[in-house]
Amino acid sequence: MSLPLNCTLLCASGAAYDINPATGQYTADPVFSKAVAYSATPTPISADTINACLVGQNANGIIIAFRGTLPPTEPDSLMDWLQDLFVEPVAFKGLPGEVHEGFLDAVNAILPQVVSAVSSLKPSATNPVYVTGHSKGGGMAPIAAYLIQQSVGIPIKQTVTFAAPKSGDQGFQTGYQSVFKNHIRYENYGDLVLLC
């Protein structure tokens, strides 16, 4: 039984946490990865211990899932939380408005490898690209989606985020929404992260 697309993307966001921060290796868990139903082992991308992404293929197309903030049990979680706190809005060539400095740094740390992994899966109209992420990964997802589509030229079918803090200011939001008219954002009303 296959899940609805948004549930699959939620599970892909969960599977991104299966990238080991210390080694960058991916070990599939029996719940999230199984639910995504990857057609082959997805590619883990990790430039350092705190910024990671999982790129894989399933019946829906290509899924780019950005990992959220590491749990406090991980040794490098403090560094990850510090990156989350770099909220200074900054302008960046290729992006509208200003974006969250920490999320931009996180995207830039792994974007070339993400683009390479996506390109190797041959995106097309019949093999669309979806971008997702939970928490910090959800904050990274719109920035990455915009750069991948507008600067690299790989079309993104849809971005779906879960419990994501804001990626940028009103200028970024306006520019982003002019390109991605079907972004879906799931949030829990009153979540402290969403106030950032």
Taking CA atoms, 28 is separated from 4, 8, 18, 173, 186, in Å, by 20, 15, 6, 34, 24
pLDDT (0 to 100) of residue 47: 84
pLDDT of 29 higher than 70: yes
Tell me, what's the pLDDT at 196? 44
Q: Is the pLDDT of residue 195 over 50?
A: no
pLDDT tens-digit map of 157-172: 999 999 998 899 999 9
Query: Which of the residue ranges 9-23, 29-43, 178-192 would you say has the lowest mean pLDDT?
Result: 178-192
Nearest to 16 by CA among 169, 153, 132: 132
Over range 56-65, report the average pLDDT: 97
Give 80-97 pLDDT, tens digit per residue: 555 555 567 889 999 999
Please compute the mean of the pLDDT values over residues 68-76 and round it to a whole number. Answer: 73
Range of the domain at 127: 5-195
User: Rounded to an integer, what distance in angstroms lies between the CA atom of residue 56 and that of residue 63?
Assistant: 5
Of the chain, the percentage scoring pLDDT greater than 70 comes to 87
pLDDT for position 49: 81
Given a cut of 80, whether residue 16 has pLDDT beyond it is yes
Rounding to the nearest 10 degrees, give the CA dihedral for residues 92, 96, 102, 107.
Answer: -80
On average, the pLDDT of the chain sits at 89
CATH number for 182: 3.40.50.1820
Report the pLDDT value the prediction gives residue 151, as an integer from 0 to 100: 92
**Structural domain count of the chain:** 1
Contacts of 38 (CB under 8 A, 6+ apart): 56, 57, 58
